[in-house]
Amino acid sequence: MSTQPSRKLETFPNPAPARDFRIHMEIPEFTCLCPKTGQPDFATLILDYVPDKRCIELKSLKLYVWSFRNQGAFHEAVTNQILDDLVRATKPRYMHLTARFYVRGGIFTTVSAQHAQRGFRLARVPDLPLLEPGSPTR
């Protein structure tokens, strides 16, 4: 596997596909560039998901996250792009991504987005954001 930034997300088979279980990841070194100034933006990404048939491979996720380092992106756009790419790669039962951007211009920004398979009902798990029926995607 490469040690260069890459948008290719690798997956592996879910070791327990009959069970709903939560995978939680915190990625404290996300960086991209402000599309207006070109200055770096820093964020912690918090990913929670319930896999279906595939799980995300961690080294490929690291290289994927690294690939944004020199890309200009608004916080809202990059958070949704990452969620869309992860959903496309893994097709999870449920996935929630929060991007906590550090202060820029005196403002902290937090963007959250989520995905759930049609008909999937997430059991209550402590500290796991839930997609309530009929609630808008955040």
R_g of the chain computed on alpha carbons: 15
Query: Is 34 one of the annotated active-site residues of the chain?
Result: yes
Query: Is 32 one of the annotated active-site residues of the chain?
Result: no
By the 10 Å C-beta count (0-12 exposed, 13-18 middle, 19+ buried), 3 is classed as exposed
DSSP for 30-65, written as a single string: EEEE-TTT--EEEEEEEEEEE-SSEEE-HHHHHHHH
Catalytic residue among 20, 32, 34, 55: 34
Catalytic residue among 20, 32, 41, 55: 41
Tally: H helices and E strands in the chain? 2, 6
Enumerate the active-site residues. Answer: 34, 41
